[in-house]
Chains A and B, each alone.
Chain A
Amino acid sequence: MKLALNVNGTDRVLELEDRTSLLDALRDGVGLKGTHAGCEHGVCGTCTVLLDGEAVRSCLILAAQAEGHAVTTIEGVTPGPGELSIVQDSFVETHGMQCGYCTPGMVLAAVALLRDNPAPTRDEIVEAISGNLCRCTGYGQIVEAIALAAERLQRSNTP
């Protein structure tokens, strides 16, 4: 089927099989490999993207279901090529990653949280990433990264 997807602000028309998940459409159809495939059945959260600004699992959505909605991937949160957003930079600053596989999903979960809740408590941060598995860090530095990002964003003029 022919689908029109809006990804990171750009409209794209893709020819896909009906059964294609949004995850596969982004990676193989659009060619954006920043959205990682993990379990591919809704358990690990590594494929998290934003749908109309809110965190969702791209493996649990058919590409067809995303038609008419704005999809944001990790590539869409950077201010420009080679630059990091405040949230991404906070992950670097606190070493909120090791192997990096879960990181795009964690960053997008954080972006979605901070959009609605600029000053989250520790419990709110933990809840926001509760659907995202990380097997390296033990989550401590990821929670720190999101808290640091919240603090920085509150003092910043840029999103």
Chain B
Amino acid sequence: MKPAPFEYIRAETVLQAQEWLAADPEARVIAGGQTLMPMLAMRLVRPTRVIDIAGIAGLDEIAVTADHVTLGAMVRQVAVERSAALAQALPLLSKAIRFVGHPPTRRRGTIGGSVANADPAAEIALVAMTLGAEVLTTADAFAARDFFLAPMTTALPAGAMVTGLRFPRVAAARRGTGFAEVAMRQGDYAMAAAACELVLGAGGEVPSLRLGIGGATPVPVLLDLAAPTRDAVAAALAPLEMMHDPNAGAGYRRRAALALAMQALDEAQREVMA
């Protein structure tokens, strides 16, 4: 038994979890636990109470409407992987989810847990940033670009809880997506990753291109592109701060981010043409 002692309690409603969180600043939420459990085992966190939100009705729902795709915080990563509705409505997330951990961790890991944890290498956060999703919380809804502040740090107010992720649904005559990542091993933390969505409207307007970078930077970044070219991507990457560690320096990450961005863009373009 490696964690320090804590009290385990099950919330039945979001309101109840919110009250418990507000009453005790040392309480923590457990969703899938795929990051919290190692942190508990290593005693990097020593909460007084662990509030299980798995039993809250409705928090594991995937809702696809005309304007939005909304995923509850307790939607398991495996549910995203298996959802035919999401493959249709949010193909970039369906594609990226295969890069998240391994099958056994995806079986338990959740959308909300990944977003709240804000690991710079997290694929779900990268897709949220790339597609301009909103993070729904008990306090407020945050645009992804306002939510992720630094590695493992978000704008989530004390005592609040992530309740879901809401993606805008863009009408498309044709849509192409691409996702590319480099890690030490399959399923390991991304040293750099890129996500791309290319949308062609029905009216022949200029195609909309969204290209995001994760893993390399402290938080995922939606690139500001002048054109869909290698030079434009390199120019957009140039001012960004890159992370560095003994396995991957900042220079490597910048080069990898460029190469992966071009791979993701190429994949999206090929899908649109097909």
Contacts and interface: CB of A to CB of B under 8 A. Distances in A.
Given A18-B6, A19-B3, A113-B103, 7 more contacts: A41-B2, A48-B104, A61-B108, A62-B37, A62-B50, A112-B103, A130-B185
| Secondary structure class of chain A's binding surface, majority of residues | mixed
Contacts of B108: 56-57, 60-61
Nearest to A18: B8
A60 B4 contact: no
Contact of A130 (B2, B107, B186): B186
Contacts of A130: 102-103, 185-187
B104 A64 contact: no
Nearest to B5: A19
Contacts of A43: 38
Size band of the B side of the interface? 20 to 34
Interface in B227-243: none
B168 interface: no
Contacts of B38: 41-43, 60
Contact of B8 (A24, A62, A113): A62
A64 B52 CA distance: 9
B173 interface: no
A69 to B, nearest CB: 10
Contacts of B223: none
Contacts of B105: 42, 57, 60, 131
Given A59-B41, A130-B186, A1 B8 contact: yes
Closest 6 pairs between A and B when the two form their complex, measured CB to CB: A131-B102, A41-B38, A18-B8, A60-B37, A55-B104, A41-B41
Contacts of A89: none
A41 B33 contact: no
8 contacts: A18-B8, A21-B1, A43-B38, A60-B33, A60-B34, A60-B108, A130-B102, A130-B186
Size band of the A side of the interface? 20 to 34
A62 B30 contact: yes
A45 B1 CA distance: 17
Contacts of A24: 1
A42 B37 contact: yes
A156 B174 CA distance: 46
A17 B52 contact: no
B7 interface: yes
Interface string B30-59: 100110011011100000001010100000
Contact of A65 (B33, B78, B104): B33
A54 to B, nearest CB: 5
Given A42-B105, A60-B108, A19 B37 contact: no
B103 A131 contact: yes
Interface string A3-37: 00000000000000111110010000000000000
B220 interface: no
